[in-house]
Structure 1
Amino acid sequence: MKYIPRTLHIVRSGVVHLILGGACCFTAFPFLWMAVSSLKTKEEVMAVDTFLPSDSQYQNYSEILFHSPIPRYLANSLLVAVSVVIIQVICCALFTYAVTFMKAKGKNLLFRLVLFTYMVPTAVTYIPCYMILSRLGLLDSYGGLILSNGVSVFGIFLLHQAFAGVPSETMEAARMDGAGHFMILTRIIVPMTRPSFVTFILLSFINTYNSYMWPSLITDSPELSLVSQGLRRFLYEGGAYGTQWSLVMAAGTVTVVPLLILFAGTWRLIVQGITDFGCKG
């Protein structure tokens, strides 16, 4: 009888792993099919009776990397994503520090108002934001793409939860030693809440890299297209490319690979940051 709990544990663990494995396979299959199809000919992609290519067409990738606009779209996305992340980190850290540690009337009300905007559907803000950028002359420009995403309400909320966990004794000791606000933020707060900063940076980068709707509304020039817009242009406005499905699959694979590499190298940090955030919240 004493082996029954262990048997139940093994069965339960096996069921859980089976379910998770099935879910992983179901989730990863579209990307796997895209990657395999990128090595096929056009006819093999359209055929439904074969999964693997008869002869791998590696020239599809050379065509995408050296004879298509996809590298330009990738460079645009990387430039905009990195710029947005830098601005968001600075703005969110300064604002969060102010409403968390500085003594000011109405700071809690201000923080609640900012969080309230997180409840507003993003589509509702498109028209007023478009009009503001139009009056500032920032439509169809890198400046409009970057500045319109300069603040993240989610980032403020995430950093606020992390900042709230910093011991008050540490803050008082730093003030007694003569440290100013900027030194406290950069020398104490940021190192102590590094997992939350890393999580914020990674999620912000991925969100900006994958953005499609808002960039499509404020940019028209093909040379400014981000990778999501670029794939659409590549599919529907690329002449013969619209029917060359193997090249389309290769383009999709190339655009996804940077995110896969980023996630593979940082997933532990993302999980740590979200776990710390959940415990402190």
Structure 2
Amino acid sequence: MSIAKGLRISGKAVILFIFSVFTIFPFIWMIISALKTKAEIMDVNHFFPETFQWQNFTDVLTDSPLLQYVGNSLFVSAVTLLIQIVTGAMIAYAIVFLTFRGRGILFGVIMCTYMVPTAATYIPSYIILSDMKLLNTFTGLIISNCVSIFGIFLLRQAFMQVPKGLIEAARIDGGSHWKILWRVVCPITKSSFITFGLMNFISCYNNYMWPSLITDSDSKMLVSQGLRKFFIEGGAYGTEWALVMAGSTIIVLPLLILFAFTQKWFISGIGGDTGMKG
């Protein structure tokens, strides 16, 4: 029996190892390519460079506005996420803990909007921002993404696991809805908040199509736009793929650091763990 159990564990370990190799290989290839010359990247017969070209990273950092692009993306993503958390938590709280006519219909309408293709909203959103004189601004980028339907759904599912008796007790003690939300519900469902925050931060950080439509100034570009314009699309480096890979590595680094510090709560949030015991 123990031998069979050991074989099952070993089989799972082998499968996980294989999937892990396929998952991490693009990152390894990107980093190794960043340390090659252009000719070595085009040579498929050698995986590792003959000499590590560390100057590719210094060239990217000193001779390009990449750090400005990263700073723009971090700022826009952080502010957008903060607003999304507040709006998502308030809407989810109202749907779960408040009693009013049409509550189920409201949630149904919200979820139906999730099925609308994002591209279908580009033209009306562009017109609205144009009328508000917010094109080519960070404000336009932020307010056009200030509500996350995914976040509302995720937080609603987490809030539904909070005992209603706990909320009633907080109300009896004189707690307002605002205090109950942030001092009672939020700490209990912390893992779901972190999962929501991490996924939406990455999505906003990597967003390309919508920022490309409403911003055209180099000083307002996010990382995806900047990487394409400056490094690939006839920019200063043209097709210098080693520098493109070096820039991509620098761009990905903040996301890897963020995930490293939040993976524990992220996995708990994906699994539906709200932190409730017993």
Q: Which TM-score tier does this pair reach, normalised by the shorter chain?
A: over 0.9
Q: CA deviation digits over 1:79-108, x for unaligned, max 9?
A: 010011110011111111122212222222
| Overall identity of the aligned pairs, in % | 50
Deviation at 1:78, TM superposition (A): 0.1
Deviation at 1:210, TM superposition (A): 1.1
2:36 aligns with one of 31, 40, 56: 40
Cα pair distance change 1:210/1:240, threshold 3 Å: closer
Partner of 2:187: 191
Task: Give the secondary structure class of the aligned counterpart of 1:63.
Answer: helix
Partner of 1:247: 243
Partner of 1:262: 258
Instruction: Please tell me whether residue 88 in structure 1 is matched to residue 84 in structure 2.
Output: yes
Contact 2:231–2:243, Cα closer than 8 Å, also in 1: no
Instruction: Please tell me whether residue 137 in structure 1 is matched to residue 96 in structure 2.
Output: no
Distance, in Å, in 1 between the alignment partners of 2:89 and 2:104 is 16
Distance, in Å, in 2 between the alignment partners of 1:18 and 1:51 is 24
Task: Give the secondary structure class of the aligned counterpart of 2:269.
Answer: helix
Deviation at 1:270, TM superposition (A): 0.4
Distance, in Å, in 2 between the alignment partners of 1:255 and 1:166 is 38
Partner of 1:153: 149
Contact 2:61–2:67, Cα closer than 8 Å, also in 1: yes
Instruction: Please tell me whether residue 235 in structure 1 is matched to residue 231 in structure 2.
Output: yes
Instruction: Please tell me whether residue 224 in structure 1 is matched to residue 215 in structure 2.
Output: no
Contact 1:161–1:277, Cα closer than 8 Å, also in 2: no
Task: Give the secondary structure class of the aligned counterpart of 2:249.
Answer: helix
- C-alpha root-mean-square deviation of aligned residues, in Å? 1.8
Distance, in Å, in 1 between the alignment partners of 2:125 and 2:248 is 30
Q: CA deviation digits over 1:82-138, x for unaligned, max 9?
A: 011110011111111122212222222111110111122222222222222222221
Instruction: Please tell me whether residue 11 in structure 1 is matched to residue 11 in structure 2.
Output: no
Task: After superposing the two structures, state which structure 1 stretch, 29-38 or 71-80, moved more.
Answer: 29-38
Cα pair distance change 1:61/1:38, threshold 3 Å: same
1:58 aligns with one of 54, 58, 63: 54
Amino acid at match of 1:113: V
2:162 aligns with one of 162, 166, 172: 166
Contact 1:234–1:248, Cα closer than 8 Å, also in 2: no
Structure 1 gaps of 5+ residues are none
2:27 aligns with one of 19, 26, 31: 31
Partner of 2:205: 209
Task: After superposing the two structures, state which structure 1 stretch, 118-127 or 86-95, moved more.
Answer: 118-127
Deviation at 1:151, TM superposition (A): 0.2
Task: Give the secondary structure class of the aligned counterpart of 2:174.
Answer: coil
Partner of 1:112: 108
Task: Give the secondary structure class of the aligned counterpart of 1:276.
Answer: coil
